[in-house]
A and B are shown apart, each in its own frame.
Chain A
Amino acid sequence: MRMIGQLGEFCLYSDRIEKGICPERETLKKENYRSIQGFTFAYGPSAGGLLESVGIDLDTFGEYISDVKVIPYKIRKVRVKSIIDNSILYVERINGSFSASHTISFITAIEEGLGIEPPYEVKIGRIVEMELERIRNHLIVMQRVVEAAGFSVPSFQLLYLIEKVNRVIAKSFGHRYFYGVNGLGSLRFYEEIKSLEEIKKEYKEIYRGIIDNRIFIDRLQSNGVIVDKEGIGPVARSASFKNDARNDGNYAEIYKELGFSTVTYDEGDAFGRFIVRGEEVEESLRILSSINLHSVEYESKKRNNEGEGIGRVESPSGDLAYYVKVNENIIKEVYLFAPSSYNILAFSSSMVKNIFTDFPFNWESFGIWLSEVGVIFE
């Protein structure tokens, strides 16, 4: 049993929800101070080193970071409280990079609410989607970290690999970001996933090359240490906690069947997160190689007409959960726990006492996507 985070008006735990505000995370607490010598250095929202619009206020007295505040600039309203089919289209687009995780979590919540039991094959299909998404996103994160180190050759090789994975996804599912793939009662799938073996081989080579570089490792080690027992995703796993929705989330049983094993590391720093991601790519590739997938159409037999449900899956950056209240065909209420909301907290707490040049490495190592943080459902 572990705490995951605030899900609307509930506090989400791995085995239950409780009404009310989650207890504060002690390990992520920062002392609040501002020195007389210091000032606030504004970074972002529009900066070359940031992928998304995010403002970062760095309190500093020169190079040394004494406090960090992350201000999302992507606040937007999403109209999901409508017909289920429409709302899925919106949820798909909340965060393109985590589109599969979002959609699957959302649909799972609806299914739970309406008492629908999707066939086994659909569940397998969803796992394939999420693992492919994980591979791509981990590669993106690794590429960003490697690029920050000016490590040009592996950086371009990773970009090439990302493109290859994207093409695999597009070929099998019809869209690079799984748009339109998942629906209540369907899973679109075109053709068998091929060329994963090749990707695996190339990836191994690139990964070894990166990990063997002493200077690169040095940049990541002891940078942004977070040891949070209640943490999620690679952040927790890099500090040797086996927190993973694949073990206790909605699809845990199937993962177990597939022989999934949790990757951990024991430092809790940016390097640990890098290693965890790096090895999870291999683990995901291994899982994928044991699956044969076909296109599935199934009838969604509703057992009840209204209800509420929670869907929780492991997105590439940690637990992602939706709470949905549904009535007939209409979504009444939606709450989202986005992994990035936790990761932003963890990042801000870990960045204190580091220096400015460590910032990009630490920031990228969390795999934060701002687009899923500033969402208001209506």
Chain B
Amino acid sequence: MIIEYLIIFTLVLALISVKWKRIAYALLSLDSLFFIWFGINQFSLLNYLGVFSIVGGFVWFFSSLFSIFYDHEKWLAPSFITSILGMQIALISSTYLQFLAGYEIMTIPAYFAIGVNRLMKSPAFTFMAFGEFSTVLVLVGFLDAYLQTGSLYFQHVFTYLPLVLVSFGFMIKMGIFPFLVTEWLPIAHGSAPSNLSAILSASMTLIAVYGLTRMAILSPSDIFLGLLLMAIGAFSTLFGSLYSYVNEHVKGLLAFSTVENDGAILASIGLYISYPNHVLSLFALATVTLFVSAHSLAKTGLFLSTGLIQGESISSSNTLKDTFSVVGVVLLTSSMSGLLPTLGGVATWALLESLFMDAFVLHSVLSIIPILVGTIIAMGEGFATAAMIKYVSFTQIFKTSYGKDIRKSAIVLTVGVLVLIAGSLSIFLFPSFISGTNLGVPPGFLLSSRFSSSAFGGIAPFFILFLIPFFSLLLILVFGKPKTRTAEVWNNGREIKDKYTSFAYSNNIRLMLRKLLRTKVLINGVEIAEDIFWIAMLKISRSYIKFSKLIATAYMNSDLRIYMVYMIIAFIVVVLLVVVI
């Protein structure tokens, strides 16, 4: 009950923010803490969906805290809070309609970011077109579920058709291959501010995954749908990470990395849906929540860190940096690269482990799919590491400092440390998989993966977290600290004029994967068809626009843009009415 009041409180905050945005942000961060508490309560009843609220709470908490020091545009605060309002509605929804309402409200700022901020015609329409398409699919899916159960409440459904429809609807929203456009468009082309990007990228995905997971739990399992989703997820991981690696836009790189993570999450949802056996399916479900947490937290931190960067292109941007931000971003990128003992590392481990367990459990020709999915995801992880090293190097480490902003970097560091420590706590997402041995890892610390009663593998993230610094200290004690003398960095005996660029850093892969990226080496640079999917999507949406233009001119005979704005406003009103009812 309290939680409904919380929603109304958020709504009020959205209104307050028009005038007093700092106060609104501060109150919003408190509001988010309540959501964490709500999620913990939910999870303690063994409801995996609670994890989404916990993670959402953390994301909102950090980004609203960050916004207090960051916000500089007028329209930003209301749309930021509106987006969070939408997510909150979706997360506490008990009916399909409530969920859909929240789902649409949360997207409004994205429309805003593209449509109002830049007034670029075709990207906005493309995004709108796919947004609508996604909603229609989800709506039809829910409708089918309603027809089956006769209830608007989330309930068990009898066929997997609603799940299929809903899956594809959410996949569009998650920017899954080949719908990459919906993810990076608002961020890269709309050039959304850092805090809003964090919300758009980290938690919009969260809600889509939430919806998908919720429907997956309520639907009968289906091995073929599951394998299909795994395959689609694998390709998203590969292409998302590859495009992220070659991307030169500060936020575009991160947006593509979100696509990559969404792919991995989709693969684990697919594994859950394919239901190889009870134990493994449970492991996969926990992996979904773990992966979502890892991605949302780390990505929030990374998007907030873009608030320290001035400029859009990585090569030419300037960075505010200090020890806090450097360490923070290193931790965040190591988590995004899937390295132990961070949260992302445990998530990657769990995903790969579950995929290969699946291959073993299936033990048939079908095993080829999880094997290939696992291999492709492993390759994706390789690209992701390269992309993350590019990000951390060329925004923090390799750059000389341009100034510092200790308040912002303190928040980035906090999220980084949280991601590191949460790695060790993450094993509690797998309550029935925790064990221990007599070989140094006592009961309660070992997360063992298994598909039956006996263990397949296992890790103890806390021990990694503890042992590596412990051995490092030991080494420092044995070898001592280095005696240092400072000198200019060696550049073949010459002064450094030009510094290595981030474009050059990823150029090797452009040249190596010429066919895949369609690299063209021109006389004055390199061009890649990074956007082949974007071009295809643009074509599709153009014909859609032509179609809607026809209708628009037939009915309204006025400027198309006004029509769009009108549609949005009308939609919000309808949605709000539905929620209140």
Contacts and interface: CB of A to CB of B under 8 A. Distances in A.
Q: Do A and B come into direct contact in the complex, CB within 8 Å? A: yes
Most buried by B among A35, A60, A64: A64
B505 A62 contact: yes
Nearest to A46: B493
Contacts of B500: 39, 41
Interface string B287-310: 000000000000000000000000
B135 interface: no
A184 B229 CA distance: 88
B504 interface: yes
Contact of B498 (A41, A44, A45, A62): A41
Interface string A19-41: 00000000000010111111111
Contacts of B523: 31, 33, 35
Contacts of A63: 504, 507-508, 511
A45 to B, nearest CB: 5
B326 to A, nearest CB: 24
A39 B510 CA distance: 17
A45 B511 contact: no
A151 interface: no
Nearest to B494: A42
Contacts of B526: 37, 61-62, 64
B484 interface: no
A294 B216 CA distance: 97
Contact of B507 (A43, A46, A62, A353): A62
A156 to B, nearest CB: 27
A37 B494 contact: no
A31 B524 CA distance: 10
A331 B187 CA distance: 74
B525 A38 contact: yes
B497 interface: yes
A62 B479 CA distance: 38
Nearest to A60: B504
Contact of A64 (B494, B496, B521): B521
Contact of A39 (B499, B511, B521): B499
Contacts of A46: 492-493
Interface string A286-315: 000000000000000000000000000000
Contacts of B521: 64, 353
Interface string A43-87: 111110000000100001111100000000000000000000000
Contacts of A45: 492-494
Contact of B492 (A42, A62, A353): A42
Contacts of A55: 492, 494
A39 B524 contact: no
A38 B316 CA distance: 12
Nearest to B490: A46
B438 interface: no
Nearest to A38: B525
Chain A, interface size: which category?
Answer: 20 to 34
B44 interface: no
B367 interface: no
Nearest to A71: B494
Contacts of A39: 498-501, 504
B503 A42 contact: no
B504 A62 contact: yes
Given A64-B521, A64-B526, A40 B497 contact: yes
A355 interface: yes
A37 B492 contact: no
Contact of B501 (A37, A42, A44, A47): A37
B492 A47 contact: yes
Contacts of A42: 491-492, 494, 496-498
Could you tell me the dominant secondary structure of chain A's interface residues? loop
Nearest to B521: A64
Q: Interface residues of B toward A: which range?
A: 20 to 34
Given A41-B500, A61-B507, A64-B511, A35 B493 contact: no
Contacts of A60: 504
Interface in B474-494: 491-494
B520 to A, nearest CB: 12
A35 B527 CA distance: 12
Interface in A117-132: none
A131 B508 CA distance: 43
Contacts of B508: 62-63
Contacts of A47: 492-493
B245 to A, nearest CB: 12
Given A45-B493, A55-B494, A35 B511 contact: no
Interface in B290-341: 315
A348 to B, nearest CB: 17
B497 to A, nearest CB: 6
B125 to A, nearest CB: 30
Nearest to A355: B511
B506 interface: yes
B492 A61 contact: no
B525 A61 contact: yes
Contact of A61 (B491, B493, B496, B503): B503
Contacts of B506: 62
Contact of A62 (B491, B493, B499, B501): B501
Contacts of A355: 511
Nearest to A53: B493
A264 B506 CA distance: 40
A63 B521 CA distance: 12
A218 to B, nearest CB: 16
A69 to B, nearest CB: 13
A166 to B, nearest CB: 29
Nearest to A49: B492
B504 A33 contact: no
Interface string B366-391: 00000000000000000000000000
B332 to A, nearest CB: 25
A334 B503 CA distance: 49
Nearest to A353: B521
Given A39-B500, A62-B503, A33 B492 contact: no
B420 to A, nearest CB: 32
Nearest to A31: B523
Nearest to B524: A35
Contacts of B492: 42-47, 55
A61 B508 CA distance: 10
Interface in B491-546: 491-494, 496-501, 503-508, 510-511, 521, 523-526
A31 B522 CA distance: 12
A233 to B, nearest CB: 28
A6 to B, nearest CB: 28
A47 B493 CA distance: 8
B489 to A, nearest CB: 12
A35 to B, nearest CB: 4
B504 A40 contact: no
Nearest to B501: A39
A120 B356 CA distance: 83
A33 B506 CA distance: 22
Nearest to B522: A35
Interface of A: 31, 33-47, 55, 60-64, 353, 355
16 contacts: A31-B523, A36-B525, A37-B501, A38-B504, A38-B525, A39-B498, A39-B499, A43-B492, A45-B493, A46-B492, A46-B493, A55-B492, A61-B525, A61-B526, A63-B504, A63-B508
4 closest cross-chain pairs (CB), A and B: A62-B507, A62-B504, A46-B493, A39-B498
Given A55-B492, A61-B507, A355-B511, 4 more contacts: A33-B524, A36-B525, A62-B503, A62-B506
